[in-house]
Structure 1
């Protein structure tokens, strides 16, 4: 069981003061685990033991004909390329080298789904009156008491949340004003000058980064990340669309999942370390899959050391994750908040993973209305498995379900509380 008493007390206080957070965004269909987890062909992540020199690392990799493609100095690991046919042999050989801490596949990961805003009445997770949403009428007050929280605070622009996902529709009218801007790349002409003005290793990253394509345009071409972002911080009281749990906080779009909703361990680590380097206090992770990764755990442990909260989806497989872990929410790291899905009747959603030791809390996760990317215009029925969706009749907003829809809700508890304290630089 994770040792996080202080975190639990903090969350309990936040919830008790009605600054708790709530739910949302659509979860993409995730292939069911069957046998060995998928991995990027011919790609391995190698972690080295302390004090192994650059020459030593080069010798280790050269001996197995492994070509370095990326270095994570923060966690002392290297991504290497090998012949796909030799991947298993290379991992076994590296594991036998006393200078190597671990060698593992580069796993494939997946997306797991009283203001004047006209669609606020559809957001039962914020205020449940028993209204009908997607043909379902729920139990009154089975919600996060958002209206009560808003009487204390509607959020602060000084608080930023990293949405590590499929990107965000940064031009969406309900999100554009709340997209994070990197001030180090925001001087006159700096956004597009082709220069790494802030020296962070990313050129013109003025509003986040696309780790899938290696560029500065984190635009969502799947829909999942936009749904997540809207749940967290769609602009409130602006007369259009929906409202986020917090009306004014900033969203940092970090795209590591592609248009098909999948990405790699390497790209996930890159996004996590980027958010940490920028000092973002909360990282939203509505994704999962693969197998245990020491490299991912090392990256998350760094965020714990610097005081960030890592909110992660518990998963949508109706599985007890105490016995059958779901990554990354099951890593034994104190700053992880694992979030399951609840329904409109204040019950655990039928598909949500569960576990008294591995799942920390549940948040609204069925029939969740939120913002939708311009490219995501399909419809989901409430009886289907969770999927990213939007209804074109709802003008780029629509319902979705899944524990990946709940992590943005849980993000709100600590973040809403932090907006009442001195801001963390982001």
Structure 2
């Protein structure tokens, strides 16, 4: 059953005021999700869900509380409001919390022009099943593949609406299509697995089932016979599939909450060089068809493109309103929130300046080293940036891929690593994080 999110949001705000809240905001969401899994050419599992949820945050002075529910009846909304107000009265004070001032609010209240919703609508279960089956068939047809553990298709659509007692009201719709395959090569203890997938807003942008199945199978076969590399200090090339994790560590360290807690290796680095000269890290929440695009943040502030790092220099923190007040900086319109949690800062649609060389050209420049295609586990010290992760991929000798490797650990310090990255030019233009393969010289590698 579809609900009028604007009407329900206003009704819940009014209930919060009657219950004694000084101010409040409401996040309402409803949507549909469908998933199809196949195995052996037949349907293994099909799931469909439709749901409605609404979350309320109330503020009483400098105290706040959040509750959520799925009861759209008037009495259900009243009970939510009363419960939230009772909780807020017992909550600890936080001098930094508060809604946005009216002059801070976004004038844009919808997602027009951002292409966040596919008007083609929900695909048929038959079409999704056929795509998953075709992905599995193509993977199994590749030499060396013994089985496909996952072949799945999924679709989701949602409507989100935000309303607050400061006068903000706005909403948008979002859709997603995905297709994934996990292939296994070999048998017994010699088995290796790898995957490929695609995730888009528009079905017409999706890569073909044949391409996804073939790539998952090829990656799995290429991993067969992997051995541990030698221990030493070598250049490490992070494949495009995993390179975004390095930039993710930089984003985490530039997050205002980590800075405010003092648990960031970049806490004193504002205005300092954190990437090589010439490299910038930009955020664009208004990118058309971007999977993390949004016209306004979870506090009703207008989102806009910005530089996090410009020409190698860290230019600002990622903050919500409360964190901005605590750090004494301007808000960056990066607030996100769940239905049962207050706002917190996060990033949308990140892009790192690409390099001029292809991944193959960087490999040829490496001499001897490691190409990392997957990682497991992590030991990251957020205070110092000390970095250690399990890795697997391919050993490079004389500038060429020599053999697959696994069971090794790569280590370094993130501040040093980020300061000497060399980017390739292979970032996926549709990804929410456009980060190409990254070469880091002189990392410690522990193998055999």
Structure scoring higher RCO (CA < 8 A, sep ≥ 6) equals 1
Structure with the larger strand share: 2
**Larger-Rg structure:** 2
Q: TM-score range by the shorter chain?
A: under 0.3
TM-score after normalising by structure 2:
0.24
